[in-house]
Structure 1
Amino acid sequence: MKINLIGVPLHLGADKFGCNLAPKTYREANIVNLIESLGFEVFDCGDVNVLETDEKRKYEHHPNLKYLHEVVDANNKLAQKVYESISNGNFPLILGGDHSLGLGSIAGASKSIKNLGVVWIDAHGDINTDITSPTGNIHGMPLAASFGIGHEALVNVYENRVKIKEENVFHIAGRDLDEGEVELIKGSKGQFYTMDKVKKLGIKNVVKDMLNYFKNKVDAIHVSFDLDSIDSLFAPGTGTPVKDGLSVEDAKYILESLALSGMMCSLDIVELNPVLDKDNKTLDIAMYLIKNTLSKLKYGLENRLTA
C-alpha cells in the first residue's frame, strides 16, 4: 500500500487567504521524507487545480454561497483522485486547504466504499447550509451536504447521490456552533460529542464509544481532521481558532486509535494557515500528528488482515 499525497490549495471555502499555501508548506517541511522514514512508499499526486477568481465574483453563482463554482470544481477533481487512490489499494492523505474539501474527499471515498463511516474532528459543526449559514463560507457546510442536506450543487458534488448515511457520522470537539447547526444536531441521527461532553467523559471513553459505535456498522472510516479542533493556545495557525479545545495529546490519541483500528481508509488534514501561524507551532503539530498516525496505520492494517 502506498501513501498518496493529495494537495488541495483551496482557501475560497473559507474566504480567507493563507490555507491555500498549506500543501506547499508541508512539502517544504519534507513531509514525503517523513512518511518514507516510516517504511511507506509515497506517491505525491500533486495539487488539485483550483480555478482562479477574484473577490468581486464571490457571489456570482449564488447569493449566499461564496465561490460556489470554484469550490465545486475543486471538489470534483479531488473526489476523482481520492476514488482512484482507494480503488488502487492505496491510502490518500489529503492536505488542505480549507475544510470545504471534505465534500470531495468523502465523495471519492464513498464511491469506493459503499457503507462509509466518517469521523469529523472540528471545533465547528460544518453542518450549515446556504439558508442557515451566517457567513456563506462553504467550509462550514461539507458535512451536512455529504449526508444530503443543503444546496443541490454541494449535495451532488462528483455524483448525484447522498454520499454517507447521517447515522454513520461521529463528530468530535465541537464548541463553536451556529444556531442553525445546533437545531440540526438536535434532530440528527449522527453522533456529536462536543467539547463539553469530551471533558465530562474523558478522551479515552470518547474514543471507546466511537470505536464501539462503528464496530460492525461500516466497511471503513474516512477521517477528517481540522487543526482548529486543537485548543488555539497550542495551534494558532488556523483560519478560525477556538479556545478550550483538544490538547495535542487528545488529538494524537483519537487519530492513532482510528489508525490502529484497521478501519481508517483515508485522512484529511485541513485548515493549516501558514500566514497566521507563530514560529511554525501549528505546522509542527500537524507533522507530529501525521507521523504518529501513519506509524500506527501499518499496525492497524496488519491487525485487520490477521483478524
Structure 2
Amino acid sequence: MAVRWAMATWAIHLFGGGTLSLSGYGVLSMSETWWSVMGSLVASPNRRASRSKLAADIWPDKDELAARRCLATTLWRYKTRMPGGASPIRPSGDFVMLCSDTRVWIDVLAFERRAAAAIADPASLADASVRTRLARALALYRDDYLREHEGEAIALERERLRALHLDATYALAMAEATAAQWPAARTALQRLVAAEPLREDAQRLLMTAHIECGNQALAIQQFHGFAALLADELGVEPMPATLALAARIGAVRAGAPVPRDAADAAGLQATMLRVRHDLARTLRLVDRSLAMQKTRPSPPM
C-alpha cells in the first residue's frame, strides 16, 4: 500500500542498536554510517549540525573536503533509497538537521523530555499520573545510546543520557516511597542498583523498600551484598547512615561499635565514589578521542 510522505510517520529508536520504521513500510534496514549521522545529529544542540562538524566526527581519518564528500554521498544515497524520497534527516545549506515536526518520533527525545522535567521539578511527582508517565519514559531506555557506535558526539551523549536515566530513576523511586508505593519504589531501585551498584543512597532506600514490602531477609541480604562490594571495590565500609539502617533491620548487631573515624570515612567515601564514576567516564572518552586522533591525517608541514 502506497503511503504519501505528507502522512508518513517515522519512529526512530536509538537506545540499543538503533531501529528505523516508517508507517506503511515497517522497519527499514540502515547502514552503520547512517546511524552515525543520526546519532551525531540527535546529540547536537537543537538537533542541527554543520556539515563540516558532522563529517569530521564520523570520518575523522579523512581531511575536511573528503569527509564532506562522504557525508554528501551518504545523505544522497539514503534519500534515493527511502520510500518516496522521504527522509527524517534534512540538509539545509551548510547544515544538516532532523525534521522537527510531529511526523518524527524519537525515543531519546521522548525519554529526555519526561526525565529532565522530573529532575527539574521533583514535587510534580506527587501526582501518580506524572509518576506513571515518567515510568513509561524510563522504560524507553532499553540499553545505552547506540551502544555499538563510536564517535565523540555519540560517546558524550551516551554518558549524558545514562546519567540522566540513573538520576530520574532515583527521583521516581523517592517519589514512590514518599507516596508509600513501596512495590513500585522497589522495582525502580532494583533497576538502579543493577546499573549503579555503588550508589549508596539507592542501596539504603532499596533495603527500606524490602522491609516495607515485608521481606526482611532480602533487606539483610541486600546490605551484606553491598558491604562486600564496597570492601572489594574500594576497601571501605558502608556509611554510618547505612550501618544504622542495617542495625535497625537486623543485618548487624544493634549497638555494634562504629569505627572511630566513621564520620570522616563517610565523607571520604562519598567523594571517592563520585571521583571514581567521573574518572571512569572521563577515561572512556579520552580513550576514544585518542583513538580518533591517531587516525587523523597529520597537518601539512
TM range, normalised to the smaller chain? under 0.3
Q: 1 or 2 for the larger relative contact order (CA 8 Å, sep ≥6)?
A: 1
- Indicate the structure with greater helix content: 2
Q: TM-score, normalised by structure 1?
A: 0.26
The structure that has the greater radius of gyration is 2
Q: TM-score, normalised by structure 2?
A: 0.27
